[in-house]
Amino acid sequence: MAGESRKLREEVQDEEPGISMTPMIDIVFQLLIFFMLACRFRTEEGEIHALLPKWGGQGITTPDKVPIEELRIKLLWVEPGSFRETKDPSNGRTLLKVGHRNLPYVTNSFGEVVPDYDELYKIICISRDTFKPTRQFRTRPATIDARPLVPLKHVVSSLNECVRANIKDITFAKPEIEY
């Protein structure tokens, strides 16, 4: 018996002490999961396919001076219940005009009264389809003319309708200078 225990001790002493890999693998996986959850990937911002005026835009023009080839979409900030422009940012709504035509209002899914963008899309499509290409313009050009108090969401919605109607030449009118 004593010989057997001595022999067993020698075998145990001959074995080199090993490093347990299980805790190290656990730590590596925890670090991997931590960095995967903590890492934020950058997303590229969306592109707006529009040409901004290099020379200052259309400036102040009257409807009779606007070229026939151009589709001008005006976004005005008006008093509720009327079509008069207002400077009061807290009391107003967006009026959408195409040419001399005021577009109707609809109530969206949030209960807000907004311009009818489906009607704008129909007008843009009709204008696009009746356009005869010229040397200068292959497709109907569109200009979005938004007043300073108009919320950006209405400007973007108008731009989206132009893009949806496949208008390629979209510009933004230069803000009017007040004297």
pLDDT in tens, the chain (179 residues): 556 666 666 665 666 667 888 999 999 999 999 998 888 776 666 666 656 555 555 555 544 444 456 788 888 888 887 778 878 777 888 888 888 888 888 888 888 888 888 898 998 888 888 888 777 777 788 888 888 888 888 888 888 988 888 888 888 887 665 54
Distance (Å, whole) CA 96 – CA 109: 19
Distance (Å, whole) CA 154 – CA 160: 10
- What is the per-residue pLDDT for 41? 72
Domain ranges of the chain: 2-38, 63-172
Handedness of CA 142, 148, 154, 157 (dihedral sign): positive
Nearest residue to 96 via CA among 77, 75, 123, 80: 75
